[in-house]
A and B are shown apart, each in its own frame.
Chain A
């Protein structure tokens, strides 16, 4: 058949229009266990935001002078700060476990040169690196190495 017989018919047919009801959110959305984990995961962002302002405050104190720096360091031993730091640590561990326990194993390229590891192996590798870094940092802080 030479040429387009019915070029006007190439466009897809127009649907509807019928009136639709807007999309709904599942009622149990907030209550579902899985969603709660995801929301907690998102909520840790607030903790990091606050932790970031603390670091900024410390940097500002450092720039202001030795007194301000000492005062800022002294403030850090306040129980509220300690609780906040504990919370930050828990958040970090939680996010680390989620990222390395759930997301990283899934993210491994399937067609790359590296073998695809089991989820448990990735998580185990992460945990060992983490423990090793903590020990190393502890040793440095205790002055055992790089005094």
Chain B
């Protein structure tokens, strides 16, 4: 797949400073027409900063950007768009209240004799969609469509802009397998037309499936450019992590070491717990010191199931017993008092307070449990904060750093630490490793395994099946908002087996 054509984009020697940190230090990339190019690196490696320099959101301190061979200064997102660089962001940046057609064409609306013609707009949008083999009702409001379709619509917008360069910033992080397939088909189609595509993702499998070349960044610097076919996954991870690559190997063994103590009495017992529109009634036993994984596709009801346990949503049917005593589930208060802790999937909006410091965020749950009239003594507080920052290896280790300034992985660790301080008896983790880099992922997994060895029961929800299988003693499989089976992870269980289970719908 070697092309000799002039790079569509050539960035070199890019330096970008933020107050106190050098985010990019000599980073760069070469993007050729007709290739899908992966931009890889840990969180904090400088991927998003480099993209933002390319799309004109940030101005670099020094360095050179060439678009189609010509040296340019990109003054803003609009300027980038004019130069044929279109971006599809991780969070869809379109208007949910407008029709699909308008979202594609807004700003370049076809006009009729009496101003903007909705009819022509719909026709033009339908043609664009049909040209990409997408079956899509362009007259419906964008918000009526799934996130996947919304991503496709923002790509269609780029197609209509006749973009020569398309930047996809983690477009697949909230899509399920079929949706990813449709997206990839579209990307492949654009590639074959000669569009240069920059693909940012955490999913290495997708890199190998879709990309011809990749650029790896580490600590703001350029590690190198590689052809996908010539570098294996292990080697790639080595490039991304530098010396810490052994981390994952060490972890592989962590959960399996522990013989599950099958005889222990369940700590928590849920019977017929369900909520209409959320999850069909299900039973669940959780024993101390064991990790129970929840596996299933996106939208299979994993989050809904654990939210019921914690009283975050109100169940319609059934109830929960802790140590044989029923726990009222109207609000999370009683479950918290019973020793449950819930790390939310959405750490930005439901978990952390970005403006508060690491210390404040760590102490939040404990302080709330004590009541505001009995403040935690300053000395205890300082000790606890120091202990957990060290145990969780939160970086930077300064307790007064605002949480908003941390990387995604470190934010997740703060959230985890907040609940660990409470010494919970059941820790519910909803997607604790989503959107964080491999090193941080390994650390979070290590912490979870360590916590369970100390006797804490853990409920672990994750979209990554490998991760669920690596950590869990027992796996609960969900599909279409129902629990379809429970499998013991006794060594014989692998991803294929669980996928088959999901595909068969539990064989019922």
A in complex with B: no
Chain A residues engaging chain B, CB cutoff 8 angstroms = none
Chain B residues engaging chain A, CB cutoff 8 angstroms = none
